Structure 1
Amino acid sequence: MSKRVVITGAGIWSCLGTNMEAVKESLYNGKSGIGLDQDRLDYGYRSGLTGIVERPQLKGLLDRRTRTGLSEEAEYAFMASREAFQMAGIDDQYLLDNEVGVIFGNDSSASAVVESARIMAEKHDSAMIGSGLIFQGMNSTVNMNMNTIFHLRGVNFSVSSACASGSHSIGLAYMFIKQGLQDMILCGGAQEVNKYAMSSFDALNAFSVRMDDPTKASRPFDKSRDGLVPSGGAAALVLEEYEHAVKRGATILAEVCGYGFSSNGGGISQPSDVGSFVAMTRAMGDAGVTPDDIDYINAHATSTQQGDMYEAMALDRLFTGKHALISSTKSMTGHECWMAGASEIVYSLIMMQNNFVAPNINFVEPDEYSANLNLATKTVDTEIKTVLSNSFGFGGTNSALVIKRL
């Protein structure tokens, strides 16, 4: 008999704020976290737009040796995980006495790799690299650091699935708990924000160049969109088996009840309305809900011409004439890449807990594909019981999650 899976803790470190309360205020007020990074332009980027993410001050929280092995994204993940565990009522002693797993989405760690190469090119001596950059440069940097810091002894691996990484990490944690293999898993997604991480995307002409007004650059579903804005940070969730949560007296924030996935099987950067449709319908089927039951959809929509178009086609097919409100929080955050699928569950959870739908800001005029969508272009005060959240990535990977209010 399958187990029920609930969320008992959540944490966030993003350009919208560095804790749940601050992010709630930004979401409700439609406040963008996007700005201009002159350092990127000096480095050779076409676009200097990015989410402005504060670096945490870890001195006093972690010892020097631990800090040395933390990549930028692992720093963010530590802060988000710390908040999530605190919210869930999980302290150090509990983590020492009980088996807890960790699954995080992370698909690159560029800064440490670039720094290692620079040292070798200048010094021609591998001894100069040091051990810290080794642990910072691996894709599993987040998992290995969270495992070490929090004494996690359960399932432990990274999910590298492009911009669906964070969503797949939640889906896989949900499946492990649902099958009775773990009682509790820390899961989420993390993304570095430094200039080294995104230069190859800039080379694809994927970024908006609307630099005269950064907060209006990310325009999901809008006819005049000209590309995405890169961003990052980290989001963390404590997923737990329902009876286990009840037994220890935890506050249950929501239930994870559906996970859907698909692959497009086409071009490496080609989105697909069919792939999107399959992931969404599979997630709703797993949750035992229909389009009529969905109150809010956090769309993947990154503000690219093709990506938004294909997702709009799938959303139109499923939800036109239904009551579900749709918005892309990327209009405020930019595209948080490897963390996006996790952060957007956290954003949706915040909306669910506080009875509002955050706006799809910067939407002025629909194109032919978004014209039928029930987009929330202003904050809407409304009860949200059931949420569908979409995440799609390069390589044709698609993920969708359904969460419910209990």
Structure 2
Amino acid sequence: MTRRVVITGVGIVSCLGIGAQAVGAALRQGKSGIVADPERVALGFRSPLTGRISGFDRQAYLTRKQRKTMPDCALQAYAAVEEAMGMARLSPEDVRESETGIVFGADSSCEPAIRAVDIVRASGETKAIGGSAVFGVMNSTVSMNLGCVLGARGACWTVSAACASGTLAIGQAAQLIALGQQRRILCGGAQEINWQAASSFDAIGAFSLDTADPVRASKPFDARRDGLVPSGGAAALVLEDRESAIRRNAPILGEVRGFGFASDGDKLAVPSGDGLARAIGLAMRQAGVHPEAIDYVCAHATSTPRGDAVETRVLLDVFGQARPPVSSLKSMTGHELWMAGASQAVGCVLMASQGFLAPNINFEKPDDLSAGLNIIRETIPHGPRLTLCDAAGFGGTNAALVLGFEG
């Protein structure tokens, strides 16, 4: 037997706002968090477009000593986890139990590594780097720092799988709980939002060059799409064994009904769609639902010509005539990369709890494929009951979640 896995808390730091209320309001209103960054223009970037987090104060969290080992994305993950814990009514003692774990999706920590190298080149010695830098340069910096700050004694690790990292972290956390290996897990994803992390993507021409009006640059599924817009932050969920949540009288915000994963086994940067289709199929089979039961698809769609086309074909094949409402939150947030899947999941919880379906803004002209999808152009005033979230990443890594909000 497996245990039912429920969501009892969420938290988020995003270019749409800081905290669940602010981000939920932005999603409902169809607001964009995309700007043009003058520093990227000065540095010679092809595209200056980026999500921008406003109002996040590093000094407001933890002690100076604790912050020293934490790059911005790790501290933002802490802020998101802190909010999720509060919503879930979790005490610090609850988190220090051996059956409480941390699993986060993250796949880079560029800025601390570059800063350390610059110090060595400028000073001619390594000791000038200091003793805290090593903990910031590792891919596991988020889970490592969270685990020590919160005193976690259960699972504590990072899932690194490109843009499927956040989705896979949630799915793996749900598996650990369903199997009885953990009672609850703080999970999610984090992504640094600096130019250093974006430079190699800019080099391969992955970003949109539609810079005339930044808020209109990210346009998933639209025929005019010309590339993604980088973004980041952190999103967190508290997953918990349902019986444990009921005993604690915790709010049950939703349930992880199904989780699927699969790989293309083909090209590094060009998706085939095969793995994504199998991941979605596996998630729905585990949930025990047919395509007709899904009443909302929170799509991965990043606003790239090839990626969106492949995903569209998969969704058309999977859902056929069912045509559930579809939107990509990346039309507002840009592509939050390693955090994206966790951001989608948090977004779905917010839509369910606040009673709406978010629009796919900037969708004005469908192409021959996307014309077959039921793309949400305006906010729908009711929440989802059964949602599919899908994710795809470099290396042909794919993941999908089925989330239920039926009580």
Q: Given the two structures, how large is their TM-score scaled by the length of structure 2?
A: 0.98
> Partner residue of 1:403?
403
Aligned twin of 2:268: 268
Q: Distance in 2 between matches of 1:36 and 1:15?
A: 13
Question: Deviation per CA, 1:308-354, whole angstroms, max 9, x where unpaired?
Answer: 00000000112232151100000000000000000100001111112
Matched to 1:105, the amino acid is G
Deviation string 1:223-263 (CA, Å, 9 cap, x unpaired) is 00010000000000000001111111111000101001110
Partner SS for 1:381: coil
The residue number in structure 2 matching 1:294 is 294
Query: Does residue 356 of the first structure (1) align with residue 369 of the second (2)?
Result: no
Does the CA contact (< 8 Å) of 2:98 and 2:154 recur in 1?
no
Question: 5+ residue gaps in structure 2?
Answer: none
Alignment of 1:47-86 (within 5 A): 47-54=47-54, 56-86=56-86
Match in the other structure for 2:112: 112
Separation in 2, partners of 1:121, 1:391: 39
Secondary structure of 2:58 counterpart: coil
- Give CA-to-partner distance per residue, 1:39-84, whole Å, 9 cap, x none: 1111121000000113632325311110100011101101100100
Partner residue, 1:151: 151
1:208 maps to 208
Question: How many Å separate the matches in 1 of 2:97 and 2:48?
Answer: 47
The aligned counterpart of 2:331 is 331
Residue type of the partner of 2:129? I
Q: CA deviation at 1:364?
A: 1.0
Going from structure 1 to structure 2, the CA distance change for 1:67 and 1:383 (only over 3 Å counts) comes to: closer
Conserved? CA contact 1:320–1:372, under 8 Å: no
Kept in 2, the 8 Å contact 1:56–1:79? The answer is no
Match of 1:15?
15
> What corresponds to 1:189 in structure 2?
189
1:175 is matched with 175
Residues 55 and 76 of structure 1 are in contact (CA less than 8 Å); yes or no, is this contact kept in structure 2? no
Between the aligned partners of 1:93 and 1:155, the Cα distance in structure 2 is 16
Amino acid in structure 2 at the alignment position of 1:368 = D
Report if aligned partners of 1:320, 1:374 keep a CA contact under 8 Å in 2: no
Query: Distance between the aligned counterparts of 1:11 and 1:61, measured in 2?
Result: 15
Residues 163-202 of structure 1: CA distance to partner in whole angstroms, max 9, x if unpaired? 0000000000000000000001000000001110110000
Q: SS state of the match for residue 371, structure 2?
A: coil
SS at match of 1:158: strand
- Matched with 1:6 is 6
Please state whether the residue corresponding to 1:227 is helix, strand or coil.
Answer: coil
Structure 1: stretches of 5+ with no match in the other structure: none
Counterparts of 2:272 and 2:229, CA distance in 1 = 21
Please state how far the C-alpha of 1:98 moved relative to its aligned partner.
5.5
What count of residue pairs does the alignment treat as equivalent? Answer: 406
> Which residue in 2 is equivalent to 1:241?
241
State the match for 2:41 in structure 1.
Answer: 41
Q: Paired residue for 1:369?
A: 369
Query: What is the rounded CA distance, in whole Å, between the counterparts of 1:50 and 1:100 in structure 2?
Result: 35
State the superposition RMSD in angstroms.
1.1
TM-score by length of 1: 0.98
CA distance in 2, matches of 1:223, 1:330: 16
SS in 2 for 1:12: strand
Contact 1:208 1:226 in 2 (8 A): yes
Counterpart AA for 2:400: A
Distance 1:350 1:270 in 2: 32
Distance 1:187 1:369, change over 3 A: same
The aligned residue for residue 257 of structure 2 is 257
Q: Deviations along 1:284-327, whole A, 9 cap, x unmatched?
A: 00110111110100000000000000000000112232151100
Structure 2 letter corresponding to 1:309: A
Amino acid at match of 1:16: L
Task: Among all aligned residue pairs of Structure 1 and Structure 2, give the percentage whose two residues are the same amino acid.
Answer: 47
Aligned partners of 1:225, 1:389: CA distance in 2, in Å? 21
The answer to whether the 8 Å contact 1:29/1:379 transfers is yes
3-state DSSP class of the match of 1:120? helix
Deviation beyond 4 Å, 4+ runs, structure 1: none
- Find the aligned partners of 2:340 and 2:309 in 1 and give their Cα distance: 19
* Distance in 2 of aligned mates of 1:328 and 1:293: 19
Q: Which moved more, 1:54-63 or 1:124-133?
A: 54-63
Cα 1:379–1:97 shift into 2, 3 Å: same
The CA distance in 2 between the partners of 1:82 and 1:201, in whole Å, is 31
Contact map agreement 2:97 2:152 (CA 8 A) in 1: no
